[in-house]
């Protein structure tokens, strides 16, 4: 049978000697790739929730948040308002 064109690949391979037992080496920690930060959809602390809002209220809120230009979006606004409400209710119920 004819030899494969890849049959000699492992014949010329160099074999590395095992490390000495007493030697310690620093292991390189992989650096996180640069690029866009992960968004809320890929964050396990967040989950999709459907909320019904009046169109006009949602439009006004988006416009105001855009005018403020502080980077906050409607979901962050709702999150902060709900956190405040929950804290208030827990104090009332305690």
- The residue with tokens 């095992």 is 18
- The residue with tokens 């160099």 is 14
| C-alpha to C-alpha distance for 61 and 66, rounded to whole angstroms | 8
| C-alpha to C-alpha distance for 67 and 61, rounded to whole angstroms | 10
Q: Which residue has the higher pLDDT, 44 or 8?
A: 44
Judge contact between 74 and 65, C-beta under 8 A. Answer: yes
- pTM for this entry: 0.58
Q: What confidence category does residue 15 fall into, taking pLDDT thresholds of 50, 70 and 90?
A: low
Taking 90 as the threshold, does the pLDDT of residue 9 lie above it?
Answer: no
Tokens of 49: 């929730």
């Amino acid at each position: 049978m004819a030899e494969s064109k890849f049959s000699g690949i492992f014949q010329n391979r160099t074999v590395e000697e095992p490390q000495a037992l007493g030697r310690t080496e620093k292991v390189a920690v992989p650096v996180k790739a640069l690029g866009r930060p992960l968004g809320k959809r890929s964050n396990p602390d967040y989950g999709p929730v459907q909320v019904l809002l009046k169109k006009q209220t949602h439009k006004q809120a988006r416009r105001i948040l855009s005018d403020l230009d502080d980077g906050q979006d409607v979901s962050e606004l709702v999150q902060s308002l709900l956190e405040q409400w929950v804290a208030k209710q827990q104090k009332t119920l305690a």
